[in-house]
Structure 1
Amino acid sequence: MIWLVLICLIFIFQTGIILILEFRRPSKAVAWMFISYCVPFLGFVLYYFVARNYRIRRTIRKKGTIIFREVRHRLWRQSHVIRHAQDMGNPKFENEERLFGLLSHLTENPITACNDIKVLTDGKVTFAAMLRALEQAEHHIHIQFYIFRDDMIGKEFTDVLIRKAQAGVKVRMLCDGLGSYHLKYKFVRQLKAAGIEFYFFLPPFTSFIQREVNYRNHRKILVIDGEVGFMGGLNIGDDYLGYDPKLGYWRDTHLETRGDIVYFLQTVFLEDWEFASGQRITDSIYFPKHQCAGNERALIVSSGPDRNWDAIQELCFSAIAVAKQRICITTPYFIPDAGIYTALKTAAVSGVQVDIIIPKVSDSQVVHYASLSYMQELMRAGVRIHQYEKGFVHAKVMVIDDLLASVGTANMDMRSFYSNFELVAVLAEQSTIQRLMEDFERDLEHSRLLNYEQFIKRSRMQKTMETLSRMLSPLL
């Protein structure tokens, strides 16, 4: 009897601690309480080491962007900064002063005017463009990926990086400690022997001990000579070329950029580099002046536990809220928070056409079921859900009317919004928006529209799996 009382007291104590620490995020509190209920002692240990901790968030922020403010001030003077909605080069923005005000203050980066941006639609095209740009590197290569595999395409990149490093080009490489945990010491030793500086961002063991394992650097950045940059959804691996037998064709979206936008891709990389390596790099040689590369307006938005605001979540919410005709979203993982969920339903009920493309076959069954758990209510509100059937769709794209588009690393899920280090480019050029819409319409041709009447008849087992997965979804 004493043991039973003791166990109950321990469980009450665990529940109370979780409720107190997670009062800002009720859905996350429910998820951890569920885990604690299923595995009372182990669950609380996991919570201690894995759960987001606001004290740690403040500690990480101190290591973050403050040291780069002087660099940003210099880059603001060096860039062609857009300060008024009327100068966005898109007439749709002339009546969107509030949205422009948000974009102007959402991040320390400015909206810039002199940019040339090329949309890359799959791994084959993207990797070819990256390898061509790497071959032309003369001064430095900064490369960062969540996942970097030592496979066929990984070896192609490695060979170029080693060759360039041996030729005197400065190569710095970052990989996420958890996403690239499979990389062997032999691989890293080979890079370092060639003169490449390599670091893991939050290595698993160290981050677990320091209670930072929940923070993943999901960014994908390649900057060459400070003049050309790449960012988007693709990591480096053969599966991104469609060689995974389960997932098949891999549909993704990446950007090749030139102009002012590259300055701010560079600062994001160098901030992450300072965090991982302890090296502070602010030399002006990494931010060379350039001729105006194009006239596209663009903004780099980075988000993560080193930022004061959940900038990407706020961007998505505000963009959805101003939509008047159509919202198009492509995302491999759809686990929205309450704000985004309500905004999408409200838009659909208000008469805005809302189309969301998600994969039919996912690389995570738990995430797949969690995503499906949101669909019934969305479809009842009028949101059109499409399941991509040609292969696996991994693109993270949002298009709002003819007003703006976003392309980047952030999924439409709570992990990307609140826990991961993420990166998004906001684009206002109508020709680029049109290109992204053409890709979206093409993806719709390879997708199946979910039928509400059929969907509500899914099996009880599937509904149970959806319920359980949704309870855990804030942690996925």
Structure 2
Amino acid sequence: MASPLAPLGGYRLWMIALLAALLQGCALPPLDGRSESMALSNAEAAATRLGRALNEQVQAHPGESGILPLAEALDSFAARMLLVRAAERTLDVQYYIWRDDITGNLLLDALREAAGRGVRVRLLLDDNGVAMDARLLALDRHPAIEVRLFNPFSVRQPKALGYLTHFSRANRRMHNKALVADNQAAIVGGRNVGDEYFGATDGVLFADLDVLAAGAVLPALSADFDRYWASASAYPIDRIVPATSAVPAPTTRTEDDPRAARYLQALRESRFVADLLAGEHLPQWARVEMVSDDPRKGLGLAEREDLITHQLQQVLARPPVASLDLVSPYFVPTAAGVDAFSRLAARGVRVRILTNALEATDVSAVHSGYARYRKELLRAGVELHEMKRGAQPQGGRAGVSGSSGSSLHAKTFAIDGRRVFVGSMNFDPRSAHLNTELGFIIDSPVLAQAVTQAFDRDIPASAYEVKLDESGGLVWIERREGQALRHTREPGSTLGRSAWIGLLSVLPIEWLL
């Protein structure tokens, strides 16, 4: 007599066979025969138009880098377009997110135009942050352009299947953001490529910060791009995306999109580029050290000393003695971070932190990872500020189409009003342990004090200050037209959302945030 469990045994075998076939089908192709390329040598880079234009200032500041902050959304996009159009030999471009929208396509058009005049373009994108296979594959077919995808998903639709079949790898993303022209000038910071980062949307605008850089740090930045480009996680797009996906890639037709036309008109009317070329925007020349994760972190193979967290500890070996002002849109301090901030506050260091309020965040799960630590941080003497959704912070004006509000996206911190970090790294476990990150430590009192002054002057008007009341509960202080309004319920919360945040805060997901 057959066992009643026999059908279940056959079912399990069938499921195992199906899973094995699925895993085999999701395997990535080999990297054998992948083309090799490198950034321009210092001598080649110095001979370009950009090199000749920058030579006098570079020679006048040996060992230093010129840094120009880009806080305005429109100015930051204009600076990218300027670098792409100024490039003569090479463009090395690396981003986590690249949207198929107005600014994303305008910048792709500019890269294609640069390739048309003989510029070699290398475009490295994290595969989780792009959804335009056909357009990118068509771009890759240009003889002067090569597109690679970092930690790609072999199944293109739905990509989320990769999280089921290869979670450990798929959960590790390249969060770096950099654009390098001729190994002479670059933009590094927190912005991805998309309308919400550059003020071309009537939705929420991300308030962010980039820097335009030239000088001594450029060779290190280009070398870092080279190692990512040659890493075991960087796959030529034509090995991942089927050839049948390619479609012609026409330039953006602004007459078909009034929003695109308005944005281009705003770019033309912007004084930023003209003023920059006329010498009105002078960079701060300072010692700059680049910190960056080893790309092997994308496969979970990087050594501790090759992680950005370790490099930051080495560069910042001298701890703050007076102040630490930190801005992180996704702030999950963990118990270790709370302990570190508490020890600083106990030594008399003024610790101020700005992150998104619940009403402004775009990732509720991350907010839950922060909310659980608020009371402990406040009891230790740490000052907490949460950016309001409707705020228009200094330098982050609304978009051309009329933004419906802002969400903080800048990642920066200043120590003792002397040193400042600008880059892609959030203060959360994901940036520390999972995603790859990139940033600059800038030894500049002028730039560091700008962050400190923002906490003194601008942030009070655009953020809630979180405090403890007499009974130890949380209150949110909002300053509006000279008045201090006191909220005893978290702004933006509803009964359902509060319950969801509460549930997330007790789940063992902190390491993913």
User: What's the TM-score, normalizing by structure 1?
Assistant: 0.69
Q: Does 1:349 align with 2:350?
A: no
One-letter amino acid of the counterpart of residue 127, structure 2: G
Give the drift of 1:342: 1.0
Relative to structure 1, the CA distance from residue 310 to residue 464 in structure 2 (aligned partners, 3 Å threshold; closer, same or farther) is farther
1:185 matched residue in structure 2: 134
Give the drift of 1:337: 3.8
Contact 1:130–1:230 (CA<8 Å) still a contact in 2? Answer: yes
Q: Does 1:256 align with 2:255?
A: no
Separation of aligned partners in 1, 2:341 and 2:141: 48
Equivalent residue in structure 1 for 2:461, among 441, 445, 460: 445
1:104 matched residue in structure 2: none
2:76 matched residue in structure 1: 126
One-letter amino acid of the counterpart of residue 369, structure 1: S
> For 1:418, what is the secondary structure of its paired residue?
helix
Equivalent residue in structure 1 for 2:329, among 319, 329, 332: 332
Relative to structure 1, the CA distance from residue 298 to residue 382 in structure 2 (aligned partners, 3 Å threshold; closer, same or farther) is same
- Per-residue CA deviations over 1:266-309 (Å, capped at 9, x if unaligned) read 1111111112158xxxxxxxxxxxxxx97410100112515422
**Structure 2 counterparts to residues 106-185 of structure 1, below 5 A:** 113-180=63-130, 182-185=131-134
Give the drift of 1:400: 0.8
Give the drift of 1:222: 0.6
- Per-residue CA deviations over 1:24-64 (Å, capped at 9, x if unaligned) read xxxxxxxxxxxxxxxxx9xxx9xxx9xxxxxxxxxxxxxxx
One-letter amino acid of the counterpart of residue 473, structure 1: E
User: What's the TM-score, normalizing by structure 2?
Assistant: 0.64
1:224 matched residue in structure 2: 181
One-letter amino acid of the counterpart of residue 394, structure 1: H
> For 1:356, what is the secondary structure of its paired residue?
strand
Q: Does 1:403 align with 2:418?
A: yes
Relative to structure 1, the CA distance from residue 315 to residue 382 in structure 2 (aligned partners, 3 Å threshold; closer, same or farther) is farther
Contact 2:414–2:421 (CA<8 Å) still a contact in 1? Answer: yes
Relative to structure 1, the CA distance from residue 245 to residue 364 in structure 2 (aligned partners, 3 Å threshold; closer, same or farther) is farther
Separation of aligned partners in 1, 2:102 and 2:500: 40
Give the drift of 1:431: 2.0
Relative to structure 1, the CA distance from residue 307 to residue 261 in structure 2 (aligned partners, 3 Å threshold; closer, same or farther) is farther
Contact 1:228–1:262 (CA<8 Å) still a contact in 2? Answer: yes
Separation of aligned partners in 2, 1:325 and 1:445: 24
In structure 1, the gaps of 5 or more residues are 1-40, 50-66, 79-111, 279-292
Aligned pairs, how many? 363
Separation of aligned partners in 1, 2:375 and 2:99: 37
Q: Does 1:312 align with 2:308?
A: yes
Give the drift of 1:436: 3.3
Q: What's the RMSD between the two structures over aligned residues? A: 3.4
1:377 matched residue in structure 2: 376
Separation of aligned partners in 1, 2:324 and 2:79: 30
- Per-residue CA deviations over 1:379-401 (Å, capped at 9, x if unaligned) read 11111110112121111001110
Q: Rg larger in 1 or in 2?
A: 2
Give the drift of 1:315: 5.2
One-letter amino acid of the counterpart of residue 300, structure 1: M
- Per-residue CA deviations over 1:185-225 (Å, capped at 9, x if unaligned) read 23431443464211111112377656411221000011101
Give the drift of 1:378: 0.3
One-letter amino acid of the counterpart of residue 465, structure 1: I
- Per-residue CA deviations over 1:44-102 (Å, capped at 9, x if unaligned) read x9xxx9xxxxxxxxxxxxxxxxx99x99xx98xx9xxxxxxxxxxxxxxxxxxxxxxxx
One-letter amino acid of the counterpart of residue 342, structure 2: K
**Where has structure 1 moved over 4 Å in runs of 4 or more?**
206-211, 242-246, 315-321, 456-461
- Per-residue CA deviations over 1:422-472 (Å, capped at 9, x if unaligned) read 112111122222233344442343111012224177699737734633531
Contact 1:320–1:343 (CA<8 Å) still a contact in 2? Answer: no
Relative to structure 1, the CA distance from residue 153 to residue 179 in structure 2 (aligned partners, 3 Å threshold; closer, same or farther) is same
Contact 1:310–1:418 (CA<8 Å) still a contact in 2? Answer: no
Contact 1:373–1:467 (CA<8 Å) still a contact in 2? Answer: no
One-letter amino acid of the counterpart of residue 455, structure 1: L
Q: Does 1:433 align with 2:448?
A: yes
Contact 1:320–1:327 (CA<8 Å) still a contact in 2? Answer: no
One-letter amino acid of the counterpart of residue 323, structure 2: R
Q: Does 1:299 align with 2:289?
A: yes
Separation of aligned partners in 2, 1:412 and 1:401: 19
2:154 matched residue in structure 1: 205
Relative to structure 1, the CA distance from residue 378 to residue 244 in structure 2 (aligned partners, 3 Å threshold; closer, same or farther) is farther
- Per-residue CA deviations over 1:215-274 (Å, capped at 9, x if unaligned) read 21000011101100111100000011345666x232111111001111111111111111
Separation of aligned partners in 1, 2:184 and 2:125: 22
Q: Which moved more, 1:446-455 or 1:227-236?
A: 446-455
Relative to structure 1, the CA distance from residue 307 to residue 425 in structure 2 (aligned partners, 3 Å threshold; closer, same or farther) is farther
2:12 matched residue in structure 1: none
One-letter amino acid of the counterpart of residue 298, structure 1: V
Q: Does 1:465 align with 2:484?
A: no
Contact 2:99–2:193 (CA<8 Å) still a contact in 1? Answer: yes
Between the two proteins, what is the percent identity of the paired residues? 27
Equivalent residue in structure 2 for 1:268, among 216, 224, 241: 224
> Which structure has greater helix proportion?
1
Contact 1:234–1:254 (CA<8 Å) still a contact in 2? Answer: yes
> For 1:412, what is the secondary structure of its paired residue?
coil
Contact 2:431–2:437 (CA<8 Å) still a contact in 1? Answer: yes
One-letter amino acid of the counterpart of residue 110, structure 2: V
> For 1:113, what is the secondary structure of its paired residue?
coil
1:392 matched residue in structure 2: 407
> For 1:334, what is the secondary structure of its paired residue?
coil
Separation of aligned partners in 2, 1:310 and 1:449: 37
Contact 1:320–1:347 (CA<8 Å) still a contact in 2? Answer: no
Relative to structure 1, the CA distance from residue 455 to residue 194 in structure 2 (aligned partners, 3 Å threshold; closer, same or farther) is farther
> For 1:333, what is the secondary structure of its paired residue?
coil
Separation of aligned partners in 2, 1:464 and 1:268: 40
Q: Which moved more, 1:346-355 or 1:203-212?
A: 203-212
Contact 2:102–2:200 (CA<8 Å) still a contact in 1? Answer: no
Relative to structure 1, the CA distance from residue 316 to residue 353 in structure 2 (aligned partners, 3 Å threshold; closer, same or farther) is farther
> For 1:204, what is the secondary structure of its paired residue?
coil
Equivalent residue in structure 2 for 1:323, among 317, 320, 323: 320
